[in-house]
Structure 1
C-alpha cells in the first residue's frame, strides 16, 4: 500500500502539471477535441514504448459479460465525468464549480465501504476529509464559505459539477475492480482506457472540430500526450495496489498542484490561500498513509 501511496503522490504532481498545461495551451479547444487528440497521441506514445520495455504485451483477458460491463462502464463514466465538468465550467464560474467537482473521494469512500466492505481507520477517514478540504480551499476565491453547497438546490452548474464528481467516483471504484478484481493487466488497461474514452467522445469531438483543425498545435498535443502516458502509468499502478479511496484522494490533489503552479507562473489571484491548501493536502496524505 505504501508503494501505491508514493506512486499516487507522484501522479498528482504529474496530473497537476498537465492541468496547468491545459489551462495555458489548450483552452481554446473543445474538451472533447482535446481528449480525443490527446488520447490518440498518448496511445501512439505508449504502445511502442511499452512493447519495447516489456518485450511484448500480455494477452487480453477473457471477460465474462459482467466483467465486460464493468470495464466498459468504467471507461464511459470517466468520459462522462470529464464532459459534465466541462459543461459545468461553461455554465458557471470556475470558483463555484471546481470545489464541488473535485470532491470525488467523498463519494469513493462510502461506495467502497458499502459495496466492497473496505475498512478504514479513523485517521484514514480524517485524511480523506483533510485532502478533500484542501481541494476545496485551493479553488475557493471568496464569498460565503459554504456558498457552493447552498447553491446546490438551485444552481445548474453546481448540480453538473456534483454529477461530474459522482461519475468520476464510480469510475475510480470501477478502475479498482478492473485492475484488482478482474485482474486486467495494467499494461493493456492503459491503451484500452485511452482509446475507449476517445471512441466515446469521438462523435462530440467531430461536431466541435475547429475549422482550422489542430495542425498548428499538434507538437504541443504530442508533447502533452507524453505527460498523459506517464500519468496513466502511475495512476494505473496506484489503483492496482491500493484502495480506490486512497488512490483517488491523493491523485485528485492534482488540483492543488495546478493552482500552485498557476499562482507562481501565471500570477493568478488567491495564491496564499492555495498555498495553505497545499499544506492541508500534505497533512491529509500523511494521515492516509499512517
Structure 2
C-alpha cells in the first residue's frame, strides 16, 4: 500500500475508535437525538472548511453526484443509528469489533452467494476466522449482551454496504471526499431534524446538548476526520487494502473499553478481536 495511504488509514483508525468511545459514554442519550446532535455539530464546525473548498476547488456536482451522495447519506444514517442503539445495549469492546469485523465477512459472502465469485482457500479461511471471532466474542454473554451482539451484526451489514458504495462514489463517480463527507453530515442533520425537533425529543436534545456538548463536538470532529482520511486513502489505494488496514481500530476500541470504561473480559475480547482482525486481513489477501 502507498505509505501515505497507510498513514492516513492508521490515523483514521485511532480517530474512529476514539469517537466510538465517546458515543459509548453517551449511550444513555436517545440514539436519534445523539446522532442528530453530532451531525449538526459537524455541519457547523466544518462549514468554514467546506466553504473554503468550494471557493478554491470549485467542484462540479451534477444530479448524478447528488444522487450517489444521497444514497451514501441514507446508508450512513442507518449505520449511525444502529451503532448508537447497540451501545445502549452492549459494551464498546463487544459491539464495535463485531460490527467492524462482520462487514468484510458479509461482503464476501454476498459475492459468493449472489455474484458467483469463487473465493480462494485464504478467503474461505478469513470468513471462517471472522465467524469464529464473533462466536468467541459472544462467549459467556447473555441477556442485554446478546442484544448488543445482534446490533453489532446488523451494523456490520451497513458497514459492508457503505464501504463498497463510498469507494465507488469517490473513484468511479469522482466525487471529492470532502464533498461527500460534509454533505453527508448536512444530509443526516436535515433528515433527522423533523424527528428530533418536535415532541419530547426536542427537550431531550436541549438537555443532551447542555450535559454533553463537549463530547458531542469532539465526536463530530473525530467522525469527520476519521472518515475523510479513509475516503482520501480510497483515492490512493484499492478498497481491498484500505478496508482491512483500518480494522486495527478493532483492537484499539477493545483496549479503550477495557481500560477506560472498565468493561469485563478484556483478555478474552482482545483474543476474539485478534481473530476477527486476522480474518479480515485474510479476506483482503484472498
TM-score norm. by structure 1 comes to 0.74
SS in 1 for 2:63: coil
Q: 1:195 to 1:171 in 2, by over 3 A?
A: same
Contact 2:9 2:245 in 1 (8 A): yes
Q: 1:79 to 1:253 in 2, by over 3 A?
A: farther
Contact 1:15 1:231 in 2 (8 A): yes
Contact 2:254 2:273 in 1 (8 A): no
1:174 and 2:165 are equivalent in the alignment: yes
Measured in 2, the distance between the counterparts of 1:228 and 1:160 equals 20
1:260 and 2:255 are equivalent in the alignment: yes
Determine the structure 1 residue equivalent to 2:12: 11
Measured in 2, the distance between the counterparts of 1:165 and 1:41 equals 25
Q: RMSD of the alignment, in Å?
A: 4.0
Measured in 2, the distance between the counterparts of 1:174 and 1:285 equals 18
Any residues of structure 2 matched to 1:94-243 within 5 Å, and which?
101-102=99-100, 103-110=102-109, 123=122, 126=125, 130=129, 137=136, 139-142=137-140, 162-206=153-197, 208-209=201-202, 210=204, 212-243=207-238
Determine the structure 2 residue equivalent to 1:150: none
TM-score norm. by structure 2 comes to 0.75
Single out whichever of 80-89 and 164-173 deviates more from structure 2.
80-89
Gaps of 5+ in 2: none
> Following TM superposition, by how much is the alpha carbon of 1:218 offset from its aligned partner in structure 2, in angstroms?
1.9
Contact 1:75 1:171 in 2 (8 A): no
Determine the structure 2 residue equivalent to 1:151: none
Measured in 1, the distance between the counterparts of 2:251 and 2:155 equals 18
Single out whichever of 33-42 and 162-171 deviates more from structure 2.
162-171
> Following TM superposition, by how much is the alpha carbon of 1:188 offset from its aligned partner in structure 2, in angstroms?
1.3
Determine the structure 2 residue equivalent to 1:70: 68
Gaps of 5+ in 1: 148-154
Determine the structure 2 residue equivalent to 1:29: 29
Q: How many residues align?
A: 277
